[in-house]
Structure 1
Amino acid sequence: MTNSGGTDGADKKVVAGILGILLGAFGVHKFYLGYTNEGIIMLLVCLIGGTVTCGIGAAVVGVIGLVEGILYLTKSDEEFVSTYVTGRKPWF
């Protein structure tokens, strides 16, 4: 089944982008896209690494989530799907 744009998975772009911007430090956007291992890494770095490094770990993964969210939203539907849905590129 395809959406109005004709590209399977393009409907995930906006939600993943917003999740990356708002909750990126917790890896929520990774879980949403099906990247469970990467989501767990971001979550652990945020929660455990943030405590050990006095918040620096949380800040770093927060910036990564923000950048990824912006990247998701600025890509065309076709590019988003080929990179993150079909191509399964987990980082940036």
Structure 2
Amino acid sequence: MDSQQSPHDLTSASGKAEEVADKSTAIIAYITLVGLIIAFVMNNEKKQPFASFHIRQSLGIVLTGVALGFINIIPFLGWVISLLGILVLIVLWILGLMSAIQGQEKTLPVVGKHFQEWFKSI
């Protein structure tokens, strides 16, 4: 009836807590621009690889959305490109969020590898 935990149990418990915090930060990154900023600040002190991965993916989605906003200024052709681009971004956002919820580091189709490369300092 030993009530003490072994050091291995404590390590796994703290590791599990860090994993949950890491996953939470990754999920928050996909929830609006404010969520991305909060996740960035949360991850700034102690760089968590999983959270950093998803912050880079989310930042890429947001910046692509801003670029599409500028393209939307162009009459007709810009509107069509922007509309199609926003629909693609919504799909990418859902894929990224689902990947974070499942605890996986799946890059987004087509652009995910570029986001990881461009924002590797985050």
TM-score, normalisation: structure 1: 0.48
Rg (Cα) greater in structure? 2
